[in-house]
């Protein structure tokens, strides 16, 4: 199976202002066919990764979906985006 986390990381790090704060983790799933990947970034970077009307997020999902199809995988990959506040933002 392809390393989807590394692939996603290589796609999103050039898109954000704070690439060192990005956290990408595989989430537990109830189905062997589903793979949920959580992407956490600061609020501004999360907005950048989702894009207006979810355009960027949907494009990332499509790239990952095409990659899984290319290796004849039956896995459905779900990307979930969450934001966190960096330390000192509210200070």
Residues paired with residue 25 on neighbouring β-strands, in sequence order: 38
- Over its length of 91 residues, how does the chain's per-residue pLDDT go in tens digits? 468 899 999 999 999 999 999 999 999 888 888 899 999 999 999 999 999 999 999 999 999 888 888 877 788 889 999 998 755 554 4
Q: How far lies 82's CA from each of 34, 39, 47, 64, 79, in Å?
A: 19, 6, 9, 18, 10
List CB contacts of 64: < 8 A, sequence separation 6 or more. 4, 7, 8, 77, 79
pTM (global) more than 0.85: no
């Amino acid at each position: 199976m392809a390393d989807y986390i590394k692939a996603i990381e290589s796609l999103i790090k050039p898109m954000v202002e704070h690439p060192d704060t990005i956290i990408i983790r595989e989430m537990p799933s109830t189905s062997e066919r589903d793979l949920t990947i959580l992407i956490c970034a600061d609020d501004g970077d999360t907005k950048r990764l989702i894009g207006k009307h979810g355009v960027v997020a949907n494009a990332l999902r499509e790239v990952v979906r095409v990659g899984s199809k290319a290796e004849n995988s039956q896995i459905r990959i779900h990307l979930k985006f969450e934001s966190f506040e960096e330390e000192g933002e509210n200070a």
